[in-house]
C-alpha cells in the first residue's frame, strides 16, 4: 500500500524558514518523480515543485522560485521542501504527491498534508 | 499557463441522482486531464486520468469523457460518500494547473 506522510508544518513569521518532509512507502521510491502541491485555506490546488526520481531535475512554480528548494534522499525514501523567505501568501496545506509515471504530472497518490501558517 | 475552468462551481443533488461536472481548458490539452475528489479536511484522491481512465479502486459509477478543451466527469448514481469537491487538472503542458473545483452538496 502506497503511503505518504508529511511532517514539519507549523507557524512561522514572515521572512522565516521551514522545512517539510514526506516519508514514502509501498512503492519503489527512486523510480518516481515527486511533487509538492499546496492549498491555501478555502482555496483550490496549486502545484509548487517537482523533483525527478534520480533528483537530477527540479522545477518550481514562479510563485516560489528562488525561495523554495526541493530535495530527496532515495536511501531514506523521503522528499523535502525547504521554504525560505516565507510570505503570508505561502500559508497553505502542503501535500506531497507521487507522479503516476515518468514525464507526466498526473498524481496518483497524495499525502495527508502539512499545514504551514505564515503570520506574525 | 493553461487556465482551467469548471462548471458549475457547486451543485445540490440527491442520493441516486446522475451528476455531471464540466471542465474546460483555455487551449487544447488532448486527453491529458485528471479528476480528483477531495472531502473536507482530507487530501485529494485521484479518480480519473487520461480523461477517461479509471484509477484503480475507484467505483465504476465514476466516468470521464472529452478531449481537446472540454471534458466531463459523470457520477451515474450519486452515493452518500460522493459528497465532496471535485477538481480537474491538466497535465498536457507545464506547469500543471487545476480547475477551481465543483462542490457537490446534499440536496
Q: What does the pLDDT average to over A17-22?
A: 98
Q: How would you class B58 by CB atoms within 10 Å of its CB: exposed for 0-12, middle for 13-18, buried for 19 or more?
A: middle
* Partners of B54 in the β-ladder: B48
A115, pLDDT greater than 90:
yes
Nearest to A106 among B49, B95, B97 (CB): B49
Interatomic CA distance for residues A109 and B90, integer angstroms = 16
SS3 call for A99: strand
Grid coordinates given for A25: 512507502
Interatomic CA distance for residues B63 and B75, integer angstroms = 7
- What does each C-alpha distance from B95 to A8, A19, A45, B24, B100 come to in angstroms? 26, 23, 13, 17, 16
User: Across the interface, do B91 and A105 touch by the CB < 8 Å criterion?
Assistant: yes
For the segment A46-76, what is each residue's pLDDT rounded down to a tens digit? 999 999 999 999 999 999 999 999 999 999 9
Q: Tell me whether A47 touches chain B (CB under 8 Å).
A: yes
Contact B96, B90 (CB under 8 A): yes
pLDDT at B104: 98
Q: What does the pLDDT average to over A17-24?
A: 98
Q: Which residue of B has its CA nearest to A60?
A: B95
Contact B18, B61 (CB under 8 A): no
pLDDT at A85: 98
Interatomic CA distance for residues B48 and B65, integer angstroms = 10
Interatomic CA distance for residues A69 and A89, integer angstroms = 17
For the segment A23-45, what is each residue's pLDDT rounded down to a tens digit? 999 999 999 999 999 999 999 99
User: Across the interface, do B96 and A105 touch by the CB < 8 Å criterion?
Assistant: yes
B18, pLDDT greater than 90:
yes
For the segment B23-33, what is each residue's pLDDT rounded down to a tens digit? 999 999 999 99
Q: Which residues of B touch A61 (CB under 8 A)?
A: 95
- Looking at every residue in chain A, the average pLDDT score rounds to 97
| Pairs of residues, one from chain A and one from chain B, whose beta carbons lie less than 8 Å apart | 52
User: Across the interface, do B44 and A95 touch by the CB < 8 Å criterion?
Assistant: yes
| Prior bond of B95 cis (ω within 30°) | yes
For the segment B49-97, what is each residue's pLDDT rounded down to a tens digit? 999 999 999 999 999 999 999 999 999 999 999 999 999 999 999 999 9
pLDDT at A102: 81
pLDDT at B42: 96
A103, pLDDT greater than 90:
no
Amino acid at each position: 500500500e502506497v503511503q505518504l506522510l508529511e511532517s514539519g508544518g507549523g507557524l512561522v513569521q514572515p521572512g522565516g524558514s521551514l522545512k517539510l518532509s514526506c516519508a514514502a512507502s509501498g512503492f519503489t521510491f527512486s523510480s518516481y518523480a515527486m511533487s509538492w502541491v499546496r492549498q491555501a485555506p478555502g482555496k483550490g490546488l496549486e502545484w509548487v515543485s517537482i523533483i525527478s526520481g534520480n533528483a537530477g531535475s527540479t522545477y518550481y512554480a514562479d510563485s516560489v522560485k528562488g525561495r523554495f528548494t526541493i530535495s530527496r534522499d532515495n536511501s531514506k525514501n523521503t522528499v523535502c521542501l525547504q521554504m525560505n523567505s516565507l510570505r503570508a501568501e505561502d500559508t497553505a496545506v502542503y501535500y506531497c504527491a507521487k507522479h503516476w509515471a515518468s514525464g507526466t504530472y498526473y498524481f496518483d497518490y497524495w499525502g495527508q498534508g502539512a499545514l504551514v501558517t505564515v503570520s506574525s | 499557463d493553461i487556465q482551467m475552468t469548471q462548471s458549475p462551481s457547486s451543485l445540490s443533488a440527491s442520493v441516486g441522482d446522475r451528476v455531471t461536472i464540466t471542465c474546460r481548458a483555455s487551449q487544447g490539452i488532448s486527453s491529458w486531464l485528471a479528476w480528483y475528489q477531495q472531502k473536507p479536511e482530507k487530501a485529494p484522491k485521484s479518480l480519473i486520468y487520461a480523461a477517461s481512465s479509471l484509477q484503480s479502486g475507484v467505483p465504476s459509477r465514476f466516468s470521464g469523457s472529452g478531449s481537446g478543451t472540454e471534458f466531463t466527469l459523470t457520477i451515474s448514481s450519486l452515493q452518500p460518500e460522493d459528497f465532496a469537491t471535485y477538481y480537474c487538472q491538466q497535465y498536457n503542458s507545464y506547469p500543471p494547473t487545476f480547475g477551481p473545483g465543483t462542490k457537490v452538496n446534499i440536496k
